[in-house]
Amino acid sequence: MAAEAEEAWKQYAVEGAVGPDTPVEINNALLQIDAERAAELLTYLATYDLVFPGSGRRDRTHARRAAERVVRLLGYEAAWYTNITDLSPGARAWNPVTRHTFDGVVAGTGVAFTVVLLQVGED
């Protein structure tokens, strides 16, 4: 997914930017998380901009309901992954999965479906 997004959005990336080149490198950037953390991060990525975190994209309550529904539909036994390591107040940290300056991904896989939310951005 990250490789496909990179290809589709490469015209928006900074010239000469570097990042993971292979599925193995992308996999190495991901951390396994539980369903509750997945819902929190899905909500964050749907609500806030990684580049300008003060500017909202969507109503937080609506985003949280949507995130919780996605988690329920995949099932609480689904495997969830992210590249985000810290979104505490005043901090934003992640392991890159694209060549964009900012990227955040949450991916979950259940018995029948896989869901991915990937946000990329440049300042």
Counting Cα atoms < 13 Å in the Cβ hemisphere of 96 gives 13
Q: Are 71 and 87 contacting, i.e. CB atoms less than 8 angstroms apart?
A: no
Which pair of tokens denotes residue 107? 């991916």
What's the pLDDT tens digit per position in 76-94? 789 999 999 998 777 778 8
What's the pLDDT tens digit per position in 43-89? 999 998 888 877 677 899 999 999 999 999 999 789 999 999 998 77
What distance lies between CA 121 and its chain's CA centroid? 12
Strands 93-94 and 102-109: unpaired
pTM: 0.88
